[in-house]
């Protein structure tokens, strides 16, 4: 491999590594926020229902930082499935922690 090709390959690997690192850091921030939200409602009988508005607030703030300009109804439409899935998963996670 020529020296130029080797440098290009090194540059691509460095860019890919940085991309993965940033994505991993962002994922940890989301998971950490979800854990905080779940722990807030851990003792509530209606955990999923109580988590829903907190998850919506967190995820809508993330949408806003990425330039999403939709109103609340559009945000709910975009986030509804994610919030339902995550509140169910967090409720199950809380139940397993107590078992």
Check pLDDT > 80 for residue 26.
Answer: no
pLDDT digits (tens, 9 = 90+) for 27-74: 778 889 999 999 999 999 999 999 999 999 999 998 888 888 888 899
Supply the pTM of this predicted model.
Answer: 0.73
Structure tokens at 86: 């995550």
Rg (the chain; Cα; Å): 19
Domain range spanning residue 59?
Answer: 3-98
Residue 90 near residue 51 (C-beta atoms within 8 A): yes
Question: For 75, phi and psi rounded to 5 degrees?
Answer: -65, -45
User: Using an 8 Å Cβ cutoff, are 65 and 10 in contact?
Assistant: no
Q: What is the pLDDT of residue 17?
A: 62
Range 15-26 average pLDDT: 63
Total structural domains within the chain: 1
Joined together, the tokens standing for residue 75 give 């945000």
Report the mean per-residue pLDDT for the chain: 83
């Amino acid at each position: 491999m020529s020296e130029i090709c080797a440098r290009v390959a090194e540059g691509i690997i460095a860019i890919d590594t940085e991309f993965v690192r940033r994505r991993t850091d962002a994922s940890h921030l989301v998971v950490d926020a979800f854990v905080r939200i779940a722990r807030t409602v851990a003792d509530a009988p209606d955990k999923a229902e109580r988590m829903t508005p907190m998850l919506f607030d967190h995820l809508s703030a993330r949408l806003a930082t990425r330039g999403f300009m939709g109103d609340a109804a559009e945000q709910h439409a975009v986030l509804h499935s994610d919030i339902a899935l995550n509140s169910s998963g967090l409720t199950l996670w809380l139940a397993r922690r107590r078992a």
